[in-house]
Amino acid sequence: MAWSKEMPANPVVAVAGATGAVGREMLVCLEKLNFPASEVRLLASARSAGQKIPFAGCGQVPAGELTVQEMTEESFQGVDIALFSAGASISKKFRQAVVDAGAVMIDNSSAFRVDDDVPLVVPEVNAHDLAWHSGVIANPNCTTIQMVVALEPLRALGHIDRIVVSSYQSASGAGAKGMAELEDQIGKALAGQDFEPAAFAHQIAFNCIPHIDVFMEDGYTKEEWKMVVETKKIMGDPLVKVAPTCVRVPVLRCHSESINLEFDRPVDVEEAKKALANGVHVVLEDDPASNVYPMPALHAGSFDTFVGRVRRDPTVSGDRGLALWVVADQLLRGAALNAVMIAQELLPKA
Amino acid sequence: MAWSKEMPANPVVAVAGATGAVGREMLVCLEKLNFPASEVRLLASARSAGQKIPFAGCGQVPAGELTVQEMTEESFQGVDIALFSAGASISKKFRQAVVDAGAVMIDNSSAFRVDDDVPLVVPEVNAHDLAWHSGVIANPNCTTIQMVVALEPLRALGHIDRIVVSSYQSASGAGAKGMAELEDQIGKALAGQDFEPAAFAHQIAFNCIPHIDVFMEDGYTKEEWKMVVETKKIMGDPLVKVAPTCVRVPVLRCHSESINLEFDRPVDVEEAKKALANGVHVVLEDDPASNVYPMPALHAGSFDTFVGRVRRDPTVSGDRGLALWVVADQLLRGAALNAVMIAQELLPKA
């Protein structure tokens, strides 16, 4: 059953999980996109209630400080859009309260992503799927979002049959505590001091950990499984095959991805570059002769998805192979920004 | 023309580039393998001459200090085996002097790797190619060595048609200066101080740089090209297709590789694991349920090549796909150890 309630031009926006790494970036996105909110309500656990967060203002909300409120089932009265980034169990717990209050939930967790009645949306790829939401819209996983944004312009060249992807994921993918743990461990490692891993299964300083989220029976991690099923759902393409390996690296922010593509027909590198250069929210950063290619240290804070190292993969027969390297700020493009962009799509068309 | 000179049971060994990151590890390998040398002669540039390096002894060489000598064309008189790791131009400069002195050059640089009259050897894979050397034997590139060592046991399962590999290469791949630059930059980055990249094209602290060695016209780097041509030459298989992406990551030591394989026939994951567990100098480290998989922070100083995350790649038709994750100490396995293992192969058989 599709959603029938009309969205006001100036909605009341709740941010659930407002003090987390992604929640804070949601506020930044509301500010930067000047989202036409009539109110921005910050919600978090009782522990964070009372905390004051500076806000530059957006829409009808003036600049000033916003006070974090404890999230309860009553918190959603009068809310039109609830941006959730407080973990899957919290999303599940509050879903009914949000929907009962007549608000649309845009959920950054993995709670509902594969549910048949929940669209999984990256606006540049499948904004049309918002037409059939029934109160809950899921924000995809960060690694998937930046990949499908980068690949969208290339789909005009032919059907993408297969994607082999290896990720280089930053510590902030595990939230603010992941970033803090990397900085702390690196300091201790350089000083020769001991440390105990907490945010990650193993030491992250000066290390690569080929393990993100839990392991499943087939030897893949849940993070890798997400890339497979979410890519198919967002692209609306059950035939696209994805072979992922997800790896945590000692980078603070921005995920990188090494991608090998197989198309169903010959693709030309120059045409691929042209398509990427004209892609929506995609920046082609590809000038090897001048040592120009995307890197995570360059793009923290950016809304765009950066693509470089675009080259023919000659190991795919019939000139159907393409290789590329993709970098984006996963807290923004891969989470907060994507959620706020979905909220923008819900606004009444002018 | 094959080499006819007989190798003495206790050869005189020269180490050219003895003060570099790999040169120092060559000494460690001579010690640990108790190489039956009658003399170990350390050679380097005039700048390093006179430097004293502690040596634990090997063969007939007692423990003590070895004094670095300036390398000249006369340095190779009486030498039987010259281990070179001083850069391609130095190897080219001294090749004739080494051969004229009747020594065998085992060269770690890229100078002669693709020459038709120079075997490119990883002993576990193609020791038989040593039969046709004519005074010079090339040591492959580090990223290639650990990959072919890990893949060798799997070749019994079928022909490997295609390899898609993304690397996670440590700073010490750029020598001791690369490692020092990473430590220095990280300290400065954490303290908010400025720094100027020198060993790498860009900042390496908290970054991934998809650029190792120089770029070529086709958009691939020389490092990636090496993985393509060296793999074919070592495996003696012009048909194996390699699609590499080589990336520098902020790790001090040990390279990691994410590898997707396509065989010419169905492969079974359990059989693959069994083959790897029985592989020569390969350690299967694969117990996801206990968070066990290879990581670079674990294996600095190890002679072995570690393989984990072994799983089916279901995106290859006909059950022909396999994915895995490989870690090795690239200064040892990928350079110094491989060179000393080649030297061992040259010794007269008992």
**Contact assessment for residue B102 and residue B3, using Cβ atoms and an 8 Å cutoff:** no
Q: Cα distance from B277 to chain A (closest Cα, Å)?
A: 17
**A and B: number of Cβ contacts within 8 A:** 156
List the single residue in B187, B245, B250 with the smallest CB-CB distance to A250: B250
Residue type, A289: A
Q: Cα distance from B118 to chain A (closest Cα, Å)?
A: 26
- Predicted confidence at residue B5, as pLDDT, reads 80
Catalytic position from the list A142, A246, A254, A281: A142
Number of Cβ atoms within 10 Å of the Cβ of B66: 19
End-to-end, the C-alpha distance of chain B in Å comes to: 25
* Interaxial angle between packed helices A21-32 and A337-346, expressed in degrees from 0 to 180 and rounded to the nearest 10: 50
Say how far residue B222 (Cα) sits from the centre of its chain: 16
Average pLDDT value for residue range B230-242 = 98
Determine the Cα–Cα distance for residues B235 and B162; give it in Å rounded to an integer. Answer: 13
Average pLDDT value for residue range B18-45 = 97
CA distances from A290 to A305, B151, B201, B209, B245 (A): 20, 35, 10, 14, 18
- Predicted confidence at residue A350, as pLDDT, reads 73
Reported ipTM exceeds the 0.85 cut: yes
Q: Which residues of A touch B208 (CB under 8 A)?
A: 168, 249, 251, 256, 295-296
What mean pLDDT value characterizes chain B? 97
List the single residue in B210, B220, B294 with the smallest CB-CB distance to A293: B210
* Interaxial angle between packed helices B21-32 and B337-346, expressed in degrees from 0 to 180 and rounded to the nearest 10: 50
Residue B73 reports pLDDT greater than 90 = yes
Residue B3 reports pLDDT greater than 80 = no
Altogether, the residues listed in chain A come to a count of 350
A151-185: buried (b, 16+ CB within 10 Å) or exposed (e) per residue? Answer: bbbbbebbebbbbbbbbbbbbbbbbbebbbbbbbb
pLDDT single digits (tens) B262-271: 999 999 999 9
Q: Which residues of A touch B183 (CB under 8 A)?
A: 190
Residue A345 reports pLDDT greater than 70 = yes
- Predicted confidence at residue A213, as pLDDT, reads 96
- Predicted confidence at residue A157, as pLDDT, reads 98
Average pLDDT value for residue range A244-269 = 98
- Predicted confidence at residue A215, as pLDDT, reads 98
Query: Across chain A, where does the E strand assignment appear?
Result: 12-16, 39-44, 52-55, 64-67, 69-70, 81-84, 104-107, 136-138, 160-168, 241-245, 255-263, 282-284, 305-312, 321-328
Q: Cα distance from A193 to chain B (closest Cα, Å)?
A: 15
Structure tokens at A280: 């929506």
Altogether, the residues listed in chain B come to a count of 350
Residue of B nearest to A189 (CA): B183
Virtual torsion, Cα B176, B179, B184, B187, nearest 10 deg = -160
Number of Cβ atoms within 10 Å of the Cβ of A17: 25
Closest C-alpha to B164, from B181, B153, B151: B151
Residue of A nearest to B207 (CA): A297
What is the pTM (predicted TM-score) of this model?
0.97
Percent residues over pLDDT 90 in chain B: 95
Determine the Cα–Cα distance for residues B53 and B322; give it in Å rounded to an integer. Answer: 45
Say which residues have a Cβ less than 8 Å from residue B76's Cβ, sequence separation at least 6. B14, B82, B94, B97, B98, B100, B101, B103
Residue type, B93: K
CA distances from A130 to A29, A76, A98, A342, A343 (A): 20, 21, 18, 8, 10
Residue A130 reports pLDDT greater than 70 = yes
- Predicted confidence at residue B350, as pLDDT, reads 73
- Predicted confidence at residue A266, as pLDDT, reads 98
**Contact assessment for residue B163 and residue B243, using Cβ atoms and an 8 Å cutoff:** yes
Determine the Cα–Cα distance for residues B202 and B181; give it in Å rounded to an integer. Answer: 11
pLDDT single digits (tens) A47-101: 999 999 999 999 999 999 999 999 999 999 999 999 999 999 999 999 999 999 9
- Predicted confidence at residue B2, as pLDDT, reads 58
Residue B4 reports pLDDT greater than 80 = no
Residue B346 reports pLDDT greater than 80 = yes
List the single residue in A168, A241, A288 with the smallest CB-CB distance to B219: A288
Q: Are A250 and B251 an interchain contact pair (Cβ–Cβ within 8 Å)?
A: yes
- Predicted confidence at residue B163, as pLDDT, reads 98
Q: Cα distance from A64 to chain B (closest Cα, Å)?
A: 29
Percent residues over pLDDT 70 in chain B: 99
**Contact assessment for residue A8 and residue A344, using Cβ atoms and an 8 Å cutoff:** no
Q: Are B208 and A289 an interchain contact pair (Cβ–Cβ within 8 Å)?
A: no
The owner of tokens 């993995």 is A110
Whether B246 is a known active-site residue: answer no
Q: Which residues of A touch B166 (CB under 8 A)?
A: 166, 245, 258
Catalytic position from the list B29, B58, B133, B142: B142
Q: What angle do CA B115, B119, B123 make, to 5 degrees?
A: 150
pLDDT single digits (tens) A239-251: 999 999 999 999 9
Whether A255 is a known active-site residue: answer yes
- Predicted confidence at residue A2, as pLDDT, reads 58
Structure tokens at B289: 């349920």
Q: Which residues of A touch B316 (CB under 8 A)?
A: 243
Residue of A nearest to B218 (CA): A311
Under the banding of pLDDT at 50, 70 and 90, the label for residue B130 is very high
Determine the Cα–Cα distance for residues B305 and B326; give it in Å rounded to an integer. Answer: 7
pLDDT single digits (tens) A312-328: 999 999 999 999 999 99
Determine the Cα–Cα distance for residues B167 and B259; give it in Å rounded to an integer. Answer: 9
What mean pLDDT value characterizes chain A? 97
- Predicted confidence at residue A5, as pLDDT, reads 80
Average pLDDT value for residue range B35-43 = 98
Q: Are A187 and B183 an interchain contact pair (Cβ–Cβ within 8 Å)?
A: no
Q: Are strands A12-16 and A305-312 parallel, antiparallel or unpaired?
A: unpaired
Q: Which residues of A touch B276 (CB under 8 A)?
A: none
